[in-house]
Every structure is written in structure tokens, then in C-alpha cells.
Copies of this chain bind each other. A is one copy, B any other.
């Protein structure tokens, strides 16, 4: 892969002694220009021989590569621990697909981390392969990263990630009526094709190796109340696989679905991942 030739640095800003870099590159997986941020802690430079472990943060619906890295207050802790952070975008953008910008839960900002199979979306909307294969290859080839979230991707690639955590994730999309239209658009009408992108279905059938998962949920989250998230389904599914999945879940009274919630608990997530990444 000639990835390194394709990376263009958009910006560079020092933060807590390290640097946040924004890069854009042409992605062969999504057949368009993609953008990501990477934070390198002060212990390494772009061309360091020594390597540091990395966290991938996969943002949710409507977000882009900036939301978490600018608003979560995570960099102070990553600086201290010597861990890198990679924040990818959540979908292809500007592909010219009819209706791609018309809805908050389909198209731009709503890639759902699937490889679309329908004619309309399959040329560009391959975020599963972008996040789990192309981007890690680009990161490894260009940055001093030695190790390598989201629950679904981790459960399908168990040797690739040591730990995974999530804030208020969609846990059971194939059984969530509000998401049926989006899933059908990307993957077609056959439900058998949906389950391989469904954390609850994957957890129910997980066979190891052991993986560590932390999940936080606010009680005043409007998407929880509208039955879009279903963390209870995920917890029940893990009962089938508790030999392999070490799951910690926490409900935080009063918190909603936004960045103030994430900021309040990001330190716990970084501590959690540090336990496994810095072993």
C-alpha cells in the first residue's frame, strides 16, 4: 500500500505537550477523500523509532472527526499515559449520492460502520472496511503506533483490539424499528445480512478470545428513552458469552447523550484501556 504518499497534513496544533494533526487522504475503500485526526503524546514524534499504543474513537450519528477530540477533554490523560488517539470521520462525504445529505440517520454523518451492499451505497459507504482495515494500515505505515474502538468491530476482529468501550451505543440495530429504514438502505431487506453488524447478535455468539468491554449510559438520554439503544439486550446477550466477554456497564443518573456526558467519564475509559494497552 502506497498510503504514505497520499496523506496530506491539514493542520498541526500542540496540546498538552503533544500534537494534534489533521490529515486527509484518498481512500480506496470509500473511493473518496477521508479526513482523520491523530493525537501523538509528547513521548513520540511522527518519525519516532519508539512506538506507543493507540485508541480509536468511533463517533456516532451526525458527528465528524472533530467532535470527540475537541470536546471530550481526553488529551490531558492520553498525554500523561503516553497513548495516541485516532478520531476518524463517521462516513464518506460529498459523494454525490442522491439524498446523501437529506437525513440525519442515513448518508453523510451516518455511515453506521457497515460495508453497504445495495447498489446505491456500496461504492462509497464501506466504513466497516475503512475503519477495521484501510485506516489501521495507513496509521501503522505513517505513525509510531504499536497497538490498535467500537464494540461490533472489536467482536468481529478479536485479535486486533485488546479492549473496547462505548458511550451510549446503539446495541441491537437489527431489532430496532427506528433504524430499519437505514439498515435496509445500506444492506438490503435480508435480515441475515444485518446481524454481522449487530453488537448484540455478535456478542451472543462470541467464542473468544477474551475481550474487555466498558459501557456507560446516561439515564436521561433521549435515544435510550425512544428505545433506539437497547443496552439491556446487549447485557442479556453477553450472558451467553460471559466466559469470553468481561463486560462492565454503568448507568449514570441524569446524564444525556451529548459531549458533556462523554467529557464527564472519559477519564474512566482511558484508565480502563490503559490497563490493557500498557500491559
Chain A residues numbered 16-40 whose CB sits less than 8 Å from any CB in chain B: 16-17, 20
A76 and B75 contacting across the interface, CB-CB below 8 Å: no
Chain A 50-75, CB-CB to B under 8 Å as 1, else 0, gives 00000000000000000000110101
> What chain B residues lie within 8 Å of A254 (beta carbons)?
14
Q: How far is the CA of A73 from the CA of B72 in the complex (A)?
A: 7
A sample of 22 inter-chain contacts (CB < 8 A) reads A13-B255, A13-B256, A13-B260, A14-B218, A14-B220, A14-B252, A14-B254, A14-B255, A14-B261, A15-B260, A15-B263, A15-B264, A16-B263, A16-B264, A20-B260, A70-B70, A70-B259, A73-B76, A73-B263, A75-B263, A75-B264, A76-B263
> What chain B residues lie within 8 Å of A13 (beta carbons)?
255-256, 258, 260-261
Chain A residues numbered 231-264 whose CB sits less than 8 Å from any CB in chain B: 252, 254-256, 258-261, 263-264
> What chain B residues lie within 8 Å of A17 (beta carbons)?
264
**What residues of chain A have their CB less than 8 Å away from a CB belonging to chain B?**
13-17, 20, 70-71, 73, 75-76, 218, 220, 252, 254-256, 258-261, 263-264, 267
Q: How far is the CA of A75 from the CA of B16 in the complex (A)?
A: 17
> What chain B residues lie within 8 Å of A261 (beta carbons)?
13-15
Q: How far is the CA of A70 from the CA of B73 in the complex (A)?
A: 9
> What chain B residues lie within 8 Å of A15 (beta carbons)?
260-261, 263-264
Q: Within the complex, which residue of B14, B16, B71, B258 is in contact with A71, where a contact is CB–CB below 8 Å? A: B71
| Other 6 A-B pairs with CB < 8 A, given A13-B256, A14-B261 | A14-B252, A14-B255, A70-B70, A71-B71, A76-B264, A76-B267
> What chain B residues lie within 8 Å of A20 (beta carbons)?
260
Closest to A259 in B: B70
> What chain B residues lie within 8 Å of A75 (beta carbons)?
260, 263-264
> What chain B residues lie within 8 Å of A267 (beta carbons)?
76
A255 CB → nearest B CB, Å = 5
